[in-house]
Amino acid sequence: MSARRTGPGAACAALLLTGCAAGGLGPAGEQLGAPAGAPDLEVQTVVDGLSNPWDVALTPGGTALVTERGGRLLAHDAQGTREVAADLDDLFVGSEAGLMGLAVSPEFDRTREFFLCHATRTEDGGPRDVRVTRWRLDGSARAAERTGTVVDGLPISTGRHSGCRLRFAPDGTLRVGTGDAAQGENPQDLGSLGGKTLRLHPDGTVPDDNPFADRPGSAAAVYTLGHRNVQGLAVQPGTGDMWSAEHGPGRDDEINELRPGGNYGWDPVPGYDESTPMTDLEKFPDAVEAAWSSGRPTVAVSGAAFLEGPQWGAWDGALAVAELKNTGVGVYRVEGAGITGTTRMEELENDYGRLRSLTLDEEGALWVTTSNGGDDAVLRVTARPAS
């Protein structure tokens, strides 16, 4: 583990966005101010030499599991980094699809279970679907056995807009953020799992109180609809509310608070019309407006995590969101269902390229994966109050 960069961020964070912090637009178009009192950060490279690591999750014992989009599953602990033997012979890799989201069971100490979201292929090698599967890790973290399928049939076309982020909610349900597969009818079709967030029990059954569980013709697992390509899911400490980050077309990446049964307004029909608004309030007056949107240009928001702990200073409770295009991490102050301020983590700005996944460990440190297609890394960011 090697230190790469340290430095203060408080000076920049105390300025408005017209200063050194790049920012976005709120739903009404206002510029948002940045919070003061940002912590000092230290960035360490935990694992390097990777290729498109898509997600990272920590077991209670501190082992980091890492997915690479090309199909490798890795484990990192005090003994080093090693590939985990896992039968993914049915994996489809193409465009944005492959081995993607990862979540460790809240019952891992008892079950050693974790969950993967990945694309699968047909016998002739073409794309079949995206699915979530359940696995059991052996005691040495060197092999994993697939023990079941939680949900399958998530749509796929070329591999574009395949989602797929996994997060456990405080109620023990598994949430899945999906993509629309670049097929225009999927986001508003309640019979499709594309362009949605899903809510399932870990065994694949559907909670009775899901908002569309009893609606004829609807997929019972659907929790929210009208999404384009969900890339980040994060649970807010204290409230247990789930937030999402998703890609817009040529404008308006969004951060959303997820409400049961909410329609987030993406409906690019006829065909796949990407000039359509991300949240089309003319077509859907009751659509849930974004808590934050990028305007133009987009920043390609990706993984998300709420920061937690006194070491984060004024950022304690803020939402951190990785960016693929802006090659950094935005920090968003959340109040109620809205975002009232934003700034950036200077120590990650431009030095590590595209950033995809964010995960907080038990000590409150932030784990980050890069996504540059070669010589990628897993980073660990620790904070301390500004001196």
335's tokens: 């109040």
**Least confident residue range of 27-31, 76-80, 140-144, 309-313:** 27-31
E strand or H helix that includes residue 10: helix 10-13
Q: Is 90 exceeded by the pLDDT of residue 21? A: no
The number of domains in the chain is: 1
**pLDDT at residue 37, as a whole number:** 76
**pLDDT at residue 359, as a whole number:** 98
**pLDDT at residue 38, as a whole number:** 86
Q: Is 90 exceeded by the pLDDT of residue 355? A: yes
Q: Is 90 exceeded by the pLDDT of residue 361? A: yes
Structural domain span for residue 96: 2-384
Residue with tokens 């699968």: 120
Q: Is 60 exceeded by the pLDDT of residue 161? A: yes
Residues 208, 171: Cα–Cα separation, whole Å: 13
Residues 345, 162: Cα–Cα separation, whole Å: 28
Please check whether residue 169 is in contact with residue 106, taking contact to mean a CB–CB distance below 8 angstroms: no
pTM: 0.92
For 302-330, write each residue's pLDDT tens digit. Answer: 999 999 999 999 999 999 999 999 899 99
343's tokens: 């700034």
Contacts of 274 (CB under 8 A, 6+ apart): 249, 250, 268
* Torsion angle in degrees (nearest 10) through CA of 380, 233, 299, 66: 40
Contacts of 110 (CB under 8 A, 6+ apart): none
- For the domain that residue 283 is a member of, what is the CATH number? 2.120.10.30
Q: 1: closest CA among 54, 58, 64?
A: 64
Please check whether residue 135 is in contact with residue 86, taking contact to mean a CB–CB distance below 8 angstroms: yes
Which residues does residue 335 pair with via DSSP β-bridges, in sequence order? 338
The DSSP-derived string for 44-98 is: EEEEEEES-EEEEEE-TTSPEEEEETTS-EEEEETTEEEEPB---TTB--BTTBS
Contacts of 208 (CB under 8 A, 6+ apart): none
The 8-class DSSP code of residue 12 comes to H
For 206-251, write each residue's pLDDT tens digit. Answer: 999 999 999 999 999 999 999 999 999 999 999 999 999 999 999 9
For 36-71, write each residue's pLDDT tens digit. Answer: 678 999 999 999 999 999 999 999 999 999 999 999
- Radius of gyration in angstroms for the set of CA atoms belonging to the chain, rounded to a whole number: 20
Residue with tokens 């484990």: 75
Tell me the pLDDT of the chain averaged across its residues.
92
Length, in residues, of the chain = 387
**pLDDT at residue 30, as a whole number:** 41
